[in-house]
Amino acid sequence: MAPPLLLLLLLRFFSLLPPAGGRGELRAFVVAHSHMDVGWVYTVQESMHAYAANVYTTVVEELMKGKQRKFIAVEQEFFRLWWDAVATDTQKQQVHQLLQEGRLEFVIGGQVMHDEAVTLIDDQILQLTEGHGFLYETFGIRPQFSWHIDPFGASATTPTLFSLAGFNAHLISRIDYDLKADMQKNKKLQFVWQGSPSLSERQEIFTHVMDQYSYCTPSQIPFSNRSGFYWNGIAAFPDPPKDGVYPNMSLPVTDSNIHLYAKTMVANIKERAAWFRTSDVLWPWGCDKQFFNASVQYSNMDLLLDYINKHSDEFGVTVQYATVGDYFQAIYSRNLTWEIRDSQDFLPYSTEPFQAWTGFYTSRSTLKGIARRASSLLYAGESFFTQYVRKHPASSICKCGALKQLQSLRWAVSEVQHHDGITGTESPKVKDMYMNNLMYGIFNVKKLMASIIFDMNNAKKNGEVYSSVYNKDSGIPGATDVDQYVVVYNPLAWNITTFVTVSVSHLAMSVYDELGLPVPAQVQSSVESHSTYDLYILVAISGLSYRKYSIKALNGKQSAFIGRSVKYKQKDITRADQESQQLLPVVNNCYQVLFDQNTNLMHSITERETNQTVQLTQEFLEYHVNGDVMKGPISDNYLFAPNASAVPVSKAVGLEVVFGNLMTEIRQYFYSNVTAQDYIYAVYTRMYTVPEGYDGKLLCHRIEQEYSVGPLELNREAVLRTSTNLNTRQLLYTDSNGYQIQKRAFKAYMNNTVARNYYPMVQTAYIEDDTTRLMLLAERAHGVSSQGNGQVEVMLHRRLWNNLQWDLNYNLTLNDSSVVRPVIWLILGTKDVTNVLYRTSGLALEHRPVVMFGALSDKPKLPRQLQQNSVHGSPVTVPPNLHLQTLSIPGWRYSSNHAEQVHNVHMGKQKQGDADFSRVLLRIRHLYEVGEDPVLSQPVMVNLKSLLNGLGSVILVEERSLTGTWDVNTLKRWKWKTAQYPSKGFSNTTETSENSIVTVHPKEIRTFFVYFQGQ
């Protein structure tokens, strides 16, 4: 099979070579595409029914009719649903043929086109891996180009991600309107992007920014009152029209109008060409929900392209159907030298002076929180299942069924990364779809983890195990009188010491470990319920291991500490007496926090090791926004357009402090006035004291805050502003997708300065002066800004309504009446100290232990089988500057030998057999940048055999590309010429591992397939 394929590729390559000589006549690459949102206004099911299935059915049919026709396919979720449920065997054969001929091209290849602002790098990688695994297993193909045309701003993480996945070029569109105009004028829309400062040229990628027309065909045409080039019209919901007549179908091409159509198209091609350096013009043909009737699309465009090519001398343009790969191949062949862009991103994104797309950083905070909890549970479930399969080959759990449970959550977490998903920019019914899919996947993985515990301890039937993830909004099982045991799993590959919370019905409780020894614990009144108590248990667990604790209700000398509650008088903060300041100290080994008893607000924090004191106050404010388009700019799901500065929300603050030996909790309640009975805002601040014999470094150094915000009034945007006396010069630092840090200088604009200085905080934000840094770590995405020197404010919640007809038509007004409960950890200290703490702390917040509950029968002691096997096998631990990013059994059945995989696909062998349980996917990430820390920024040598020793004897390690589909030794990415690197060629920069020992350099993400003995 190889020679003819090679010949085809060579012919294709030569056909794409530019004509000799300079710019010459223009050549337009007509790229047919359909932008298919996995969600947004309509659910996936509604979209499949109304148009998405028809896109693939009719496109495949039409491509078979004309050898010159081409099409690019993007979102795999829709394609896979079509492939599995709609496509006939004939259509499947045709897809294989079209892919081989290069006339159908998969670009990006992820499940969705992920958002770039508020997603976590782990989840971006997951959704890409899911799509790529399917494409490689089914077709033996690997996408090599991106098409990120719709995310609202572009992150600097993405170019690194796509480089690691083996892409040759990257394409984006939505960047700030004034920046795009400037780049367009100066022909700088194409450059080589070095997204990571530490990886720089090793993982750079050629990047194309679409011009002002973006990804849609220009719809206005001078000779018709209908749109142009959309001969199939606009998709109709809920049902496709029976007669095939859709709204707004373009005028068919006829002898009488073909010249007018050609002139319009050529004029647009020439206008675009003036903004780029070569005579190759990318002309996207399509838009949202297009090509559901590909027949009428291609039959009209065929005529038009033929006509322009017959008159190319007159027009000075030739046109051809093309894929994104065809276009980039032509640009690459030009052999030009390109400018380098450093690691600066394209956020935030504005479309005009009063349209800053910074509201979506916070929209639908509950969905953002659940999406991250689901991702974290999936991370835990993957490593838990992988260890179980490796250590218990003769298990009673059906592995295929277990993999399906994991896959349901992989699918749901991938789906919600869509750029109208986790962004909160979807309609309510689509939000419900995401939530339902996430909750279904969460339920499945909890059930799987509980059944694994059950199987490994082969517990009796009355020891029912049920599971709940450690966080307040996941519904911890109701308090019970029965003795309980809890199983706590640490999903991180570090030893952790932390607290987990269990809801109980008595104050007098005791907690014991597997050996019957007492465990430090504290019980206190619950914030959320008057009838139950919160039991905080101090757990110390090795990497990727679990422990069991039994909880008994009794009045023994070993009972848990009881927190003592002191309620202070509510204070009117508008009339606080500044003369007689009375300060209430709350102290642990790392910090002294002072509260001002005149206002019940925080006053200052002292870092005890350096004795450095920072004045620090926190208050809730609201931005009031306009909802009437007749009165000015509006805020909506996407946009943030405040009327004026933020307004303080409370005039009175209530204070209650629960003092305890292990933890002190400060509860502040914010009232709109002194007589108000109900509060909309509250902060619960927790400080931990760790007893001797435990490693309390991380626990002691964090000030944990949980907020309760809502329900808000309409057209209010709620922020928590933390003001300090640090001289920060209004500089803010925020993370890109939990991967790297961006420096954000405050910029003054003619209009909308507040909103245009908001940035996404996915995991981390901080402010600092010359010596001291205040870090904020989050478990969901928020908008964050520094609107004044020494200040950082986090937007926690939004509730909006407006009368913009477009928003009303699609139900995109964000009338979110929920109460949100986000958590943020504060770390204060010198730059050196915070540098050491914040990466591990951020991951400790992201991946809190998973807590599973079981009821015990009334035996006085733990059953024998619960005492043994306390930790399953040996722990898996990496050094503190590395993170075990993935340990999973993907289940893909493809061969990791490419020639063999392509052969299997051609022979139709790839369909048989169960999932492959022998291949383990391992990713290791270096957490630090070059030069960030004298010790932690060093490269690290890892022996993979000894790291995974507890899972069995490693017999083979293969290093792979990020999504697993390339052997890194055969991955040769295009190397684009820059002034820094004047020669063009192929880049392959990975040192591959000998003897399973790898050296991981700063910011690297290394991906491996690992195989064990006895498989």
- Does residue 247 have a cis peptide bond before it, meaning omega lies within 30 degrees of 0? no
Amino acid at the residue 72: I
The number of CA neighbours under 13 Å toward the Cβ of 345 is 28
Output DSSP code: residue 617.
Answer: E
Q: How many CB atoms lie within 10 A of CB 528?
A: 13
Residue 122 annotated in active site = no
Residue 831 CA to residue 610 CA, distance in Å, equals: 12
Torsion, Cα of 828, 829, 835, 837 (10° steps): -60
For residue 582, which phi and psi values (nearest 5 degrees)? -115, 125
Maximum Cα–Cα distance for the chain, whole Å?
Answer: 97
The DSSP bridge pattern shows strands 465-469 and 484-490 to be unpaired
As a whole number of angstroms, the distance between CA 444 and CA 374 comes to: 11
The closest of 108, 36, 111, 124 to 76, measured between CA atoms, is 111
Q: For the purposes of burial, counting CB atoms within 10 Å of the CB of 22, is it exposed (0-12), middle (13-18) or buried (19 or more)?
A: exposed
Helix (H, G, I), strand (E, B), or coil: what is residue 105?
Answer: strand
- Asked if residue 709 lies in contact with residue 681, where contact means CB atoms within 8 angstroms, the answer is yes
Query: In angstroms, what is the C-alpha Rg of the chain?
Result: 29
Residue 687 sits at φ, ψ, to 5 deg, of: -125, 135
Which residue stretches of 790-854 are H helix? 805-810, 831-846
Distances (CA, A) of 17 to 20, 28, 564: 9, 13, 78
Collapsing DSSP to helix, strand or coil, 576 comes out as: coil
Task: Find residue 171's DSSP bridge partners.
Answer: 208
DSSP string, 969-1015: TT--EEEPPBSSS---EEE--PPPPBTTEEEEPTT-EEEEEEEETT-
**Helix residue ranges per DSSP H, 847-968:** 864-867, 898-906, 944-947
Q: How many CB atoms sit inside 10 A of residue 26's CB?
A: 21
The two tokens of residue 497 are 């010491």
Sign of the torsion angle spanned by Cα atoms 7, 10, 14, 15: positive
Distance CA 966, CA 31 (A): 27
Q: List the structure tokens of 743.
A: 């420096």
CA–CA gap between residue 50 and residue 660 (Å, rounded) = 59
Q: How many residues does the chain have?
A: 1015
- Catalytic-role residue among 115, 122, 123, 150: 150
Summarize the chain as % helix, strand, coil (round to 5).
30, 30, 45
Residues 740, 883: Cα–Cα separation, whole Å: 14
From the number of C-beta atoms within 10 Å of its C-beta (0-12, 13-18, 19+), residue 13 rates as exposed
**Please, are residues 8 and 101 in contact by the beta-carbon 8 Å criterion?**
yes
Cis geometry, peptide bond prior to residue 159 (ω within 30 degrees of 0): no
d(CA 990, CA 329): 24
Closest by CA to 247, choosing from 235, 265, 258, 262, is: 235
The residues annotated with a catalytic role in the active site are: 150
